[in-house]
Chains A and B, each alone.
Chain A
Amino acid sequence: MPHDKTNESHLHPPPLITFTGVQKTYDGEHLVVKDLNLTIRQGEFVTLLGPSGSGKTTCLMMLAGFEVPTSGDIFLRAQRLNSVPPHKRNFGMVFQNYALFPHMTVEENIRYPLKTRRMPAAEADRKVAHILDMIQLRDFAKRRPTQLSGGQQQRVALARSLVFEPQLVLMDEPLGALDKQLREQMQLEIKHLHERLGLTVVFVTHDQSEALTMSDRVAVFNDGVIQQIDTPTNLYEHPANAFVAQFIGENNTLAGRIQSVEGRHCRVSFGDGFSTGALIGNGLAVGDATRLSIRPERVKLNGSAQGLPNRLQARIREFIYLGDHLRVRCELAGNDEFMARVPVDDFESSMQPGDVIELGWRDEDVRALDAS
């Protein structure tokens, strides 16, 4: 269970970056970023997460200075950043394909930001040596980037963006080109660097598990708007709307209508005579159409469903074996993509595809969200 950091991140490190009312359009017709307000605090690891075209990269590019906001302001502490050219912002940046200079050695790449800052040679030597040790690539100092593996290139890119001790590090899908295993290893490495060096990081990705693993807070983008900005735990457990619920983690959705509301709880009818209790989302009232969101791991089967307040009949369509757990695809109320996730130990081997079984869940595991 991830540790809930809600309180920590709202302790009082001062805001480092503030977006106020930022809009961006490329064609003058539709907005890529709409009325963005975002505060990034000192020492925070904030991830901008969203599908491609959601505006997250544009936000990063505006922060880096490669794009100019069409309206609104970006502040670094009290300084308005809009008119500061990118090379004067003193932000480290890691690019999607690392952008290591192919005609320079590893060492020259890392030294480059120190050279542009006209740092004395002795001091630069010391810093480069230090950071090469940190990324454990001292023996590769004289190599060309193309002679390194993907993971090593990634570390060099990271070292190059950190060696001049920037006040903010921007990362634009830096792990996208790595294979799964290496990516997970690098996620942890970056996270540990962040903690050890007290960096402030803005990280862009479309990979939700990456966002959940690394971040203090995640801003979920869609259609140029931040749908929700929260800790990983809250995003997963308390999605603000159907998009977030769908985008973060696996999710079953059922279209229904709200029958009654009682405090935070409500009753929703769906399908042909089915109904369930649920937690009600913001702005919904009796009679509204809604979209129910249930995580597959909250759905219990047959015996485990005993004693739960919501129990419904479903038909097994398929078993998908995944080693540590089993996914059971069921047909529930006409939706035959309804997934339940069962630990292998809890599985009753007598079940067969085509059997009718009982699914069960608690009211708290279901969220009635906007129907859009």
Chain B
Amino acid sequence: MSANLTATMSPAKPGGNLKAQLRRAERLRKLKAIGLVAPLALFLIVVFVVPIGNMLWRSVDNTELDSVMPLTAEGLRHWDGSGLPDEATLAAFAAELRDSRQGGGLGRISRRLNYEDSRYRSLLMNTLRGLPTVDAVGPDTDWVATLAEIDPAWGETETWLGIQRTAPTTTDRYLLASLDLQRGADGEIQRVAERDRLYLSVFQRTLVIAGGVTLICLALGFPLAYLLATLPAKTSNMLMILVLLPFWTSLLVRTAAWIILLQSNGLVNQSLLFTGLIDSPLQLVFNRIGVFFAMVHILLPFMVLPLYSVMKGISPSYQRAAVSLGAHPFAAFWQVYVPQTISGVAAGTILVFIMALGYYITPALVGGPADQMVSYYVAYYTNTTNNWGMAAALGSLLLVVTLLLYLVYHRLVNRKQLIRS
């Protein structure tokens, strides 16, 4: 053993052997590194990557019919869409409909079918009640007539076309619906009727609110961060605690506090009335103003902190140098200081913007109906209507929009930095 070891370690075999030795030596280090990140990686995979993958899948998932009525789905997938489906498919449909009462399958398909037409649920319920008993059914039962007798709707091609649309295992209807689009009777993508359009304006509103909050945070946060970075350590630490103070209370409490402050007989209105600046209370909450107030307040620290950390690293001698070279202090600030803060501005704005995109509780509490953002509809579909497909589609689109904006932004900032530097 020891002889072996000596042989490998001896310098008699240089070249490729050296690489092997290096690999061996590095292996332990790598294992250690992997061991250190493994718990976090595992955690992230379980609670983050898998759910997000699941969500992305659910936005196109269309397996309700296929899982509850596999034979019907199979039969309908082969149906050409004219007349009625063949007898075997109808027989399978009747049998599977009867079985679907067990295990909640009926609820799933009727919910799914209702997205196509809201009459399906009662149609299925009625049909189930009218179905002949198992004993009364034989191989020679005429299902076309039987079903049409229970409800004439089963004699119409339209009814079966609607079910056929739910037969494929994937669908783009949720994603299309999230963009106010749908597939027409001929399968062409078209815009939904004007009065049903909603989500494009919701997305637009989400981007406008998030962008507005980001700009306000930048406008308020930049001077504050500059002050913090230039003050003596003792004072700036004190102020930094004040900046971080909001983190000590829950978001819900802070949002509720804003309602109290901003409502018609709240502190702000009372003071304004008292000083005579206004005659009647201003509407400051349950509208866009309230949303901006509360969101800027909550997100401001996320702008200040990255700005501060970047500004802290910029030596005051840069501005002094610029001034000594003949630049007016304002010019020195703008030409020499600000360009060096770009990375902080970039980090702060992207952080605030992305966080603002996903805001739900704050707009829900202090906003009006016209201030609800995408997350509100995600929550609505998840909690209220159980339409996971729509919830997932809206969420996925928000994710895609966020990633796209991030890419554009990243490129812009990088180029800007290159040009300026």
Please give, as numbers and ranges, the residues of chain A lying within 8 Å of B324 by CB-CB distance: 64, 86-87, 89, 91-93, 161, 170
The interface bits of chain B over 310-333 (1 if a CB of A lies within 8 angstroms of the residue's CB, else 0) are 000001011011111111110110
Closest to A117 in B: B326
Please give, as numbers and ranges, the residues of chain A lying within 8 Å of B323 by CB-CB distance: 66, 86-87
A88 to B325, CA, bound (A): 9
Closest to B329 in A: A87
Q: Contacts A87-B329, A116-B331 given: A66-B315 contact, CB under 8 Å? A: no
Selected interface stretch from A46-54, A95-103, A290-298 = A95-103
Instruction: Tell me, yes or no, whether B420 is within 8 Å of chain A by CB.
Output: yes
Please give, as numbers and ranges, the residues of chain A lying within 8 Å of B322 by CB-CB distance: 101, 112, 116
CB distance from B267 to the nearest CB of A (A): 41
Q: Are B340 and A99 in contact (CB under 8 A)?
A: no
Q: Are A95 and B317 in contact (CB under 8 A)?
A: yes
Q: Contacts A99-B317, A99-B318 given: A164-B340 contact, CB under 8 Å? A: no
Instruction: Tell me, yes or no, whether B421 is within 8 Å of chain A by CB.
Output: yes
Instruction: Tell me, yes or no, whether B289 is within 8 Å of chain A by CB.
Output: no
Interface of chain A residues 96 through 149 with chain B (CB within 8 A): 96-97, 99-105, 112-113, 116-117, 144
Please give, as numbers and ranges, the residues of chain A lying within 8 Å of B327 by CB-CB distance: 87, 112, 116
A91 to B329, CA, bound (A): 15
Please give, as numbers and ranges, the residues of chain B lying within 8 Å of A246 by CB-CB distance: none
Q: Are A103 and B320 in contact (CB under 8 A)?
A: no
A96 to B327, CA, bound (A): 20
CB distance from A105 to the nearest CB of B (A): 8
CB distance from A194 to the nearest CB of B (A): 18
Instruction: Tell me, yes or no, whether B336 is within 8 Å of chain A by CB.
Output: yes
Instruction: Tell me, yes or no, whether A310 is within 8 Å of chain B by CB.
Output: no
CB distance from B227 to the nearest CB of A (A): 19
The interface bits of chain A over 143-181 (1 if a CB of B lies within 8 angstroms of the residue's CB, else 0) are 010000000000000001100100000100000000000
The residue that A112 contacts in the complex, of B325, B339, B420, with Cβ under 8 A, is: B325
Instruction: Tell me, yes or no, whether B280 is within 8 Å of chain A by CB.
Output: no
A103 to B416, CA, bound (A): 11
Instruction: Tell me, yes or no, whether B67 is within 8 Å of chain A by CB.
Output: no
Please give, as numbers and ranges, the residues of chain B lying within 8 Å of A104 by CB-CB distance: 421
Please give, as numbers and ranges, the residues of chain A lying within 8 Å of B336 by CB-CB distance: 101
Closest to A89 in B: B324
Closest to B339 in A: A103
The residue that B326 contacts in the complex, of A100, A102, A164, with Cβ under 8 A, is: A164
Please give, as numbers and ranges, the residues of chain A lying within 8 Å of B157 by CB-CB distance: none
CB distance from B334 to the nearest CB of A (A): 12
**Which of B320, B329, B339 has the most chain A CB within a 10 Å cutoff?**
B320
Closest to A64 in B: B324
A102 to B321, CA, bound (A): 12
CB distance from A257 to the nearest CB of B (A): 48
Closest to B328 in A: A87
CB distance from B10 to the nearest CB of A (A): 40
The residue that A164 contacts in the complex, of B317, B325, B332, with Cβ under 8 A, is: B325
The binding surface of chain B is classed by DSSP as helix
- The count of residues in chain A whose C-beta lies closer than 8 Å to any C-beta of chain B is 30
Q: How many A-B residue pairs have CB under 8 A?
A: 72
Q: Contacts A90-B326, A103-B420, A103-B421 given: A66-B340 contact, CB under 8 Å? A: no
Instruction: Tell me, yes or no, whether B414 is within 8 Å of chain A by CB.
Output: no
Instruction: Tell me, yes or no, whether B126 is within 8 Å of chain A by CB.
Output: no
A168 to B318, CA, bound (A): 20
The binding surface of chain A is classed by DSSP as loop
Q: Are A101 and B318 in contact (CB under 8 A)?
A: yes
Please give, as numbers and ranges, the residues of chain A lying within 8 Å of B317 by CB-CB distance: 95-97, 99
Q: Are B315 and A102 in contact (CB under 8 A)?
A: no
CB distance from A57 to the nearest CB of B (A): 12
CB distance from A103 to the nearest CB of B (A): 4
**Which of B321, B340, B420 has the most chain A CB within a 10 Å cutoff?**
B321
Please give, as numbers and ranges, the residues of chain B lying within 8 Å of A95 by CB-CB distance: 317, 320-321
The interface bits of chain B over 62-93 (1 if a CB of A lies within 8 angstroms of the residue's CB, else 0) are 00000000000000000000000000000000
Closest to A113 in B: B325
Instruction: Tell me, yes or no, whether B265 is within 8 Å of chain A by CB.
Output: no
Instruction: Tell me, yes or no, whether B417 is within 8 Å of chain A by CB.
Output: yes
CB distance from B387 to the nearest CB of A (A): 50
Q: Are A102 and B340 in contact (CB under 8 A)?
A: yes
A66 to B320, CA, bound (A): 8
A143 to B349, CA, bound (A): 29
Closest to A157 in B: B321
The residue that A102 contacts in the complex, of B320, B331, B421, with Cβ under 8 A, is: B421
**Which of A96, A99, A170 has the most chain B CB within a 10 Å cutoff?**
A99
Interface of chain B residues 364 through 406 with chain A (CB within 8 A): none
Closest to B342 in A: A103
Q: Are A97 and B315 in contact (CB under 8 A)?
A: yes
A90 to B336, CA, bound (A): 19
Please give, as numbers and ranges, the residues of chain A lying within 8 Å of B332 by CB-CB distance: 87
Please give, as numbers and ranges, the residues of chain A lying within 8 Å of B420 by CB-CB distance: 103
CB distance from A198 to the nearest CB of B (A): 21
A86 to B321, CA, bound (A): 10
CB distance from A109 to the nearest CB of B (A): 9
A164 to B328, CA, bound (A): 16
Please give, as numbers and ranges, the residues of chain A lying within 8 Å of B329 by CB-CB distance: 85, 87
Please give, as numbers and ranges, the residues of chain B lying within 8 Å of A88 by CB-CB distance: 326
Please give, as numbers and ranges, the residues of chain B lying within 8 Å of A144 by CB-CB distance: 421
Please give, as numbers and ranges, the residues of chain B lying within 8 Å of A91 by CB-CB distance: 324
**Which of A97, A100, A116, A160 has the most chain B CB within a 10 Å cutoff?**
A116
Q: Are B326 and A87 in contact (CB under 8 A)?
A: yes
CB distance from A301 to the nearest CB of B (A): 49
CB distance from A174 to the nearest CB of B (A): 12
Please give, as numbers and ranges, the residues of chain B lying within 8 Å of A90 by CB-CB distance: 326
Please give, as numbers and ranges, the residues of chain A lying within 8 Å of B339 by CB-CB distance: 103
CB distance from A102 to the nearest CB of B (A): 7
A95 to B318, CA, bound (A): 9
CB distance from A204 to the nearest CB of B (A): 14
Q: Are B331 and A99 in contact (CB under 8 A)?
A: no
CB distance from B182 to the nearest CB of A (A): 50
CB distance from A366 to the nearest CB of B (A): 44
Please give, as numbers and ranges, the residues of chain A lying within 8 Å of B331 by CB-CB distance: 116
A104 to B322, CA, bound (A): 12
Q: Contacts A87-B324, A112-B322 given: A103-B417 contact, CB under 8 Å? A: yes
Query: Can you show 19 pairs from A to B with CB atoms below 8 A apart?
Result: A64-B320, A87-B323, A87-B332, A90-B326, A91-B324, A92-B324, A93-B320, A93-B321, A95-B317, A99-B318, A99-B321, A101-B336, A102-B421, A103-B339, A112-B322, A113-B326, A116-B328, A116-B331, A161-B324
Q: Which 6 A-B pairs have the closest CB atoms?
A: A103-B421, A99-B321, A113-B325, A116-B326, A93-B324, A99-B317
- Extra A-B contacts (12), CB below 8 Å, given A87-B323, A89-B324: A64-B320, A64-B324, A66-B320, A87-B327, A87-B328, A87-B329, A101-B318, A101-B340, A103-B420, A112-B322, A116-B331, A160-B325
Q: Interface of B with A (CB < 8 Å)?
A: 315, 317-318, 320-329, 331-332, 336, 339-340, 342, 417, 420-421
